[in-house]
Amino acid sequence: MQKNNTPLNTAQWLVLSTLFILCYWPTYFILSVEPTVMQKSYFLVMLGYLSIIVLASKTTLSIPNSAYVYCLPLLAMLVSFPFSIGELSGFHFSVLVKPILLFLYVIFFYSLLVENFNVTDILKIKKVLTSIFVIQLVVIVLQIVLGDIAPLKILSFKDVYSGFSFRAPGTFDWVYITCYFLSFFLAIHIIEFFFGKKRKTAALFVTFSLLAIFLSQSKTGYLATVIIALYFVFLSIVLRLGIAKKIIFSMLLLLALLILFIIYFEINLDYITRFIDLLQKGHLDGSTSTRKGQTILALEEGFKYWYKGSPLALQGVIIENSYLDYLFRYGLLGLLAFTSMIFIFYFYSLMVCIKCKKLFDKQLIHFELFQLSVGCHISFFAASLYSFTGTPVDAYRSALWSSFVIALVAFINRLNKKISNDLVEQKS
């Protein structure tokens, strides 16, 4: 099967430009406006831009089955809200909009991919994604070097230098969300390093990804990355990759190199050292203590108001844990809906990943297609982890990224089915 190395045509360029808008739209270009307001406007900007691209490329819309998964939280909301009929407010109607928008985003991304790309165009998609990854690394470096300057603040409202150290948020505002975003590319370049042709470049990108995560000083990012690396050992067995021991050795080697790098350049990691110092004294740092309080509150209120969600949700109380946030806001059905959504995305992406490996072993698909399937799967495994301390699937820019990834999985699954069906027809 030959790869399509021709340049992007106009329609393909328009489609892939949506990913640059997704990651690098200057959300906070009006610095005087509240960040939450600008974040909400971003959702509308993306909806408008995707609509324009669909019309400009004359794309026919089609709905992948995976898009309907976003109906689960919508169902939980519609069931729980009638129990609060006396307290209904703009809040109840505003939150209904988000799952509907995410549903539409998946449809748009999926339709644009299906209508304008085929199996020979996978390399084009991967190249554009790699460019987006490199730009993200550049933004992180600029944030660390230049600090909180106005041009960078339009990309992220979070301060890089605050308190006693730095935390570069990239373009996803929260450092742990940037780590979640990087997990997709970390997986792609790990596969490239062990099985691809550009091993040196892949090794460099893996190192840069880990360095960006390390410099984020995100405790969640650290823990999730270690678990993801260990999960690669499991995935190696499931997919019969034969790299389990190599993954463990590489983990230890990279950890040693990172420690030497930190010591040699005397990099200040006060967020982490302060956390360790407090932990040794039997105390918790501010963010961990806050999350502990939120967990207790969410469990108490969530089970007390198991059928409708806590009334405190209407007062703007935030739970920085997606599982408990859905319990807190929409009761037990909310917890079930969100957990089901995460598990469906996880197992669906795993199924597609396994199918890709089988076709790749038979030399029926390109290496890049298998690569992207692994990246998508690891991304949703990462989402299940990062959801314990944040909202990677349905919050601000990361919600759009997750929508694109699930659309990409559906697109890869469609290609797999087409190749399998063509093979059956050839044999018959």
pLDDT at 427: 73
CA pair distance 376, 378, nearest whole angstrom:
6
What type of residue sits at position 191?
Answer: I
What is the number of other CB atoms lying within 10 angstroms of the CB of residue 4?
14
Helix (H, G, I), strand (E, B) or coil at 258: helix
pLDDT at 273: 64
| 349-363: pLDDT as tens digits | 999 999 999 999 999
Instruction: Please report, for residues 41, 140, 253, the alpha-carbon distance to residue 260 in angstroms, rounded to integers and kept in the order given.
Output: 43, 21, 11
Q: Can you give 281-327 as a three-state secondary structure string?
A: CCCCCHHHHHHHHHHHHHHHHHHHCCCCCCHHHHHCCCCCCHHHHHH
CA pair distance 135, 140, nearest whole angstrom:
9
Between strands 161-162 and 165-166, the pairing is antiparallel
CA dihedral 185, 129, 100, 391 (to 10 degrees): 30
CA pair distance 130, 204, nearest whole angstrom:
13
Which positions of the chain have pLDDT values less than 50?
none
pLDDT at 181: 97
pLDDT at 215: 85
CA pair distance 316, 228, nearest whole angstrom:
33
pLDDT at 265: 66
Residue 241 phi, psi dihedral angles, 5° rounding: -85, -30
Q: What is the pTM of this model?
A: 0.93
Domain boundaries, the chain: 10-427
pLDDT at 261: 75
Find tokens 């669906």 and name the residue: 348
CB of 382 within 8 A of CB of 336?
A: no
Helix (H, G, I), strand (E, B) or coil at 42: helix
Question: Using DSSP, how many helices (H) and how many strands (E) does the chain show?
Answer: 15, 2
CA pair distance 149, 379, nearest whole angstrom:
31
